[in-house]
């Protein structure tokens, strides 16, 4: 089904028992985040939450609405997310018509593809403009905007559908860019340098023009999703939303700017950005699980706030995975796979693990036909749009299920050859990547787990003969010798893996520990050594992998010795050549945790 607005989606969530209404009074300052974080980390993503009694506002707050595979399917009107890429493939794989009959057969499909562009309504009273606030009536403080984490710089709008146009007014951009609230009438506009919004902004700056902006807070689910989608430059996100919901997105003119917004939106902010004005924004607890750096960003001056009579404020939180954004990202992974295959047809499937927070790890299966094809795929992906930010790419054979992490890990641990299977590169990285010594730039790693074919390094290489199994040391034997270890754990997988929580106090301590450990013959049974920070819970393998993907700079942090590898993913210091500011991990305050603990037994009572 398609939903005219967020209201119908909420009703559907309730009918499907996917929504929890919370009537108890809660604060938008940290409390809603702590409650949502606990729910979103339940198996399968927990339930959507509707907070109906938020301190300081008459508006309800909807959060975690897209935070499960089931709810993501519901939002996009499908039983299975794979239905959407199948529809896309129908158009991608159309052979060129050779006869008039062939052209006639294409007509229904072409009509379907073109009948869902956004539709401008000629109405003076759309739902999103039932209430209009201008001049002194403007007060963004009436919206229950969250402060998500203790060290955030303030309150942040985290799910805004931001709408703007190119300087020639020909191309519309719709994107999701967080917005820090400064006061009643101004917010930041945080767009990264690679986003279309930032590109348009710089064009306005060159021409010394003021940029008009509109922001929809809560729209139909397909439009909410489409704003997050990495569409090619110039493709209207509302067109994608129409394609997904099989019905055009109705738009209306704004009151004070020359832009169009979804007619059924809950809340709309209208305003402008003066490119000559920048203001400090951040820090902010981001989707990496760390606080992103503060920095100067454009300022949105609000000229109008319009909304429904009883608006629902749609928002989200990000932080240590998994969170709601994982399911939005998984939808993008599936929906855009057919488009990726048009450029790289040997790709069979792909997967972005939650612990890789989208840009730190991608697993790709390929139909391999010639030597070094995996390296070609890796290089090609590192040159494609937002895939260029990926730090680790793992390639496997077409028969391997990239969504089965246990299967992929088994192949990795039992077959990887450090001499032939690792491919190091360098290039641009996401601005949120803190691991590399320099901002926006660092090393990348490709791991080729495909079967070797003739002409490739490693083809025909003799498998080393089985030798007598070495005795694994006990953890206390290791901690007795290396007293800087807080704790350690041995994982008996295809090869023995040692996880170490190191109390790092001095520069290069991690690499020196790896050298000393490998030099000790008593511990020669350990083939993979991963050195983490002292506070890491080694029993939580998801947290361990999240730490590894986040903190790794491959060229700097991998140490090889006789087909053994040590991986140093401890915090790096300026004395070690690190030139960024290593961010703090996101963690809720003990005061808020205690407060929520007291409320928890009564939060979900009818």
Range(s) within the chain of domains with CATH label 2.30.110.10: 6-81+116-314
* Average pLDDT value for the chain: 92
Q: What is the pLDDT of residue 87?
A: 85
**pLDDT surpasses 80 at 60:** yes
pLDDT reading at 422 higher than 70: yes
Q: Kindly tell me the sign of the dihedral angle through the C-alpha atoms of 446, 452, 457, 460.
A: positive
pLDDT category of residue 235 using cuts at 50, 70 and 90: confident
Percent of the chain whose predicted confidence (pLDDT) is above 70:
95
Q: What is the pLDDT of residue 114?
A: 64
Output DSSP code: residue 364.
E
Question: CATH 3.40.1670.10 spans which residues of the chain?
Answer: 344-448, 475-572
pTM for the whole structure:
0.92
Q: Helix (H, G, I), strand (E, B), or coil: what is residue 529?
A: strand
pLDDT digits (tens, 9 = 90+) for 364-382: 999 999 999 999 999 999 9
> Nearest to residue 571, comparing CAs of 599, 552, 555?
552
Q: What CATH number labels 344-448? A: 3.40.1670.10
pLDDT at 342 (0 to 100) = 87
| Six token digits for residue 559 | 């140490």
SS3 277: strand
**Contact assessment for residue 417 and residue 403, using Cβ atoms and an 8 Å cutoff:** no
Cα gap 222→188, rounded to integer Å? 25
Task: State the Cα–Cα distance between residues 196 and 211, nearest whole angstrom.
Answer: 14
Q: How far apart are CA 292 and CA 432, in angstroms?
A: 6
Q: Tell me which architecture the domain covering 475-572 has in CATH.
A: 3-Layer(aba) Sandwich (3.40)
Question: Going by DSSP bridges, is the β-strand pair 19-22/48-51 parallel, antiparallel, or unpaired?
Answer: parallel
Class of domain 6-81+116-314: mainly beta
What per-residue confidence (pLDDT) applies to 103?
57
Question: Taken in order 587, 590, 591, 596, is the CA torsion positive or negative?
Answer: positive
Residue 6 in tokens: 């967020």
| Cβ–Cβ under 8 Å, residues 438 and 455 | no
Computed on alpha carbons and rounded to an integer, the radius of gyration of the chain in Å comes to 26
User: For residue 489, what pLDDT band results from cuts at 50, 70 and 90?
Assistant: very high
CA-to-CA dists, residue 70 to 80, 183, 214, 331, 532, angstroms: 8, 38, 31, 11, 35
Active-site residue flag, 448: no
Sign of CA dihedral 117, 7, 184, 292: negative
> Could you give the strand order of the β-sheet that contains 48-51, starting from the edge strand earlier in sequence?
19-22, 48-51, 60-63, 312-314
Is the pLDDT at 110 greater than 60? The verdict is: no
Per-residue confidence (pLDDT) for residue 100, from 0 to 100: 65
Q: What is the pLDDT of residue 549?
A: 96
Which residues have a Cβ under 8 Å from the Cβ of 92 and sit 6 or more positions away?
A: 338, 339, 342
Which residue in the list 37, 196, 286, 553 is annotated as catalytic? 286
Report which of 463, 470, 468, 515 is spatially closest to residue 490, judged by C-alpha positions: 470
Indicate whether 497 pLDDT > 80.
yes
Confidence band for 347, pLDDT divided at 50, 70 and 90 = very high
Q: 95-109, 154-168, 535-549: lowest mean pLDDT where?
A: 95-109
**Higher per-residue confidence, 385 vs 350:** 350
Q: How many whole angstroms separate alpha carbon 502 and alpha carbon 517? A: 13
Range with lowest mean pLDDT among 96-105, 194-203, 487-496 = 96-105
DSSP secondary structure letters along 129-154: GSEEEEGGG--GGGS-PBB-STTSSS
Task: Give the pLDDT confidence of 159-177 residue by residue, as tens digits.
Answer: 999 999 999 989 999 999 9
The pLDDT tens digits of the residues spanning 423-481 come to: 999 999 988 899 999 988 999 999 999 999 998 988 888 766 655 678 899 999 999 99
The yes-or-no verdict on residue 98 having pLDDT over 90 is no
Question: What number is the average pLDDT over the span 327-353?
Answer: 93
Average pLDDT rounded to a whole number, residues 509-528: 94
Burial code (b: 16+ CB inside 10 Å, e: under 16) for 273-306 equals bbbeeeeebbbbbbbbbbbbbeeebbbbbbbbbb
How many other CB atoms are found less than 10 A from the CB of residue 375?
A: 16
Q: Which of 135-139, 412-416, 455-459 has the highest mean pLDDT?
A: 135-139
Residue 386, pLDDT above cutoff 90: no
- DSSP letters for 439-464: TTEEEEEEEE-SPP-TTSTTTTPPPP
Tell me the pLDDT tens digit for each residue of 285-311: 999 999 998 999 999 999 999 999 999
| pLDDT (0 to 100) of residue 232 | 80
pLDDT at 332: 93
According to DSSP, the residues that pair with 307 across neighbouring strands are 131, 267
pLDDT attached to residue 141: 96
Secondary structure element (H or E) that encloses residue 536, with its range = none
Query: Which has more confidence, 96 or 514?
Result: 514
Q: What is the model's pLDDT at position 92?
A: 66
Position 115 pLDDT exceeds 90: no
Residue 106 pLDDT > 60: no
Question: Which pLDDT does position 469 carry in this prediction?
Answer: 72
């Amino acid at each position: 089904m398609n939903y005219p607005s967020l209201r119908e989606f909420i009703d559907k969530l309730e009918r499907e028992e996917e929504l929890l209404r919370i009537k108890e009074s809660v604060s938008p300052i940290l409390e809603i985040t702590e409650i949502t974080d606990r729910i979103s980390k339940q198996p399968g993503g927990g339930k959507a939450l509707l907070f109906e009694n938020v301190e300081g506002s008459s508006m309800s707050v909807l959060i975690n609405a897209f935070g499960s595979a089931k709810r993501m399917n519901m939002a996009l009107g499908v039983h299975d997310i794979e239905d959407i890429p199948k529809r896309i493939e129908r158009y991608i794989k159309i052979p060129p018509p050779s006869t008039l009959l062939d052209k006639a057969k294409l007509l229904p499909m072409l009509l379907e593809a073109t009948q869902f562009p956004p539709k401008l309504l000629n109405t003076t009273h759309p739902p999103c403009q039932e209430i209009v606030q201008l001049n002194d009536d403007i007060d963004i403080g009436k919206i229950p905007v969250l402060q998500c984490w203790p060290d955030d710089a303030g309150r942040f709008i985290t799910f805004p559908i931001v709408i703007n146009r190119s300087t020639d007014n020909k191309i519309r951009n719709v994107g999701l860019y967080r917005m820090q609230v400064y006061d009643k009438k101004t917010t930041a506009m945080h767009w990264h340098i690679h986003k279309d919004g930032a590109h348009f902004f710089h064009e306005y700056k060159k021409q010394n023009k003021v940029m008009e902006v509109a922001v929809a807070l809560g729209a139909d689910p397909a439009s909410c999703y489409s704003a997050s989608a990495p569409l090619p430059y110039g493709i209207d996100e509302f067109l994608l939303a129409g394609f997904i919901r099989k019905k055009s997105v109705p738009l209306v003119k704004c009151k004070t700017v020359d832009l169009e917004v979804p007619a059924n939106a809950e809340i709309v902010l209208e305003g402008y950005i003066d490119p000559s004005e920048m203001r400090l924004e951040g820090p902010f607890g981001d989707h990496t699980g760390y606080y992103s750096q503060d920095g100067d960003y454009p300022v949105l001056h609000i000229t109008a706030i319009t909304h429904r009579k009883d608006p629902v404020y749609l928002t989200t939180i990000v932080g240590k995975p998994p969170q709601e954004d994982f399911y939005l990202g998984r939808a993008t992974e599936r929906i855009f796979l057919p488009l990726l295959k048009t450029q790289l047809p040997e790709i069979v499937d792909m997967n972005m693990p939650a612990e890789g927070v989208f840009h730190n790890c991608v697993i790709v299966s390929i139909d391999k036909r010639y030597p070094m094809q995996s390296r070609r795929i890796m290089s090609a992906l590192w040159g494609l749009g937002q895939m260029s930010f990926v730090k680790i790419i793992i390639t496997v054979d077409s028969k391997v299920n990239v969504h089965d992490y246990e299967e992929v890990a088994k192949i990795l641990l039992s077959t990887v050859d450090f001499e032939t299977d690792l491919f190091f590169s360098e290039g641009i990285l996401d601005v949120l990547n803190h691991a590399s010594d320099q901002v926006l730039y660092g090393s990348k790693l490709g791991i080729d787990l495909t079967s070797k074919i003739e002409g490739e390094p490693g083809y025909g290489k003799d498998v080393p003969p089985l030798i007598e199994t070495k005795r694994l040391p006990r953890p206390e034997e290791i901690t007795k010798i290396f007293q800087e270890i807080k704790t350690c754990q041995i994982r008996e997988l295809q090869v023995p893996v040692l996880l170490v929580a190191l109390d790092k106090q001095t520069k290069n301590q991690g690499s020196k520990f790896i050298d000393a450990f490998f030099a000790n013959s008593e511990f020669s049974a350990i083939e993979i050594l991963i050195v983490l920070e002292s506070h890491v819970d080694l029993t939580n393998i998801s947290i361990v992998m999240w730490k590894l993907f986040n903190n790794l700079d491959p060229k700097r942090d991998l140490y090889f010795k006789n087909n053994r590898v040590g991986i140093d993913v401890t915090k790096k210091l300026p004395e070690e050549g690190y030139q960024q500011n290593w961010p703090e991990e996101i963690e809720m305050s003990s005061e808020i945790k205690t407060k929520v603990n007291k409320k928890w037994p009564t939060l979900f009572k009818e």
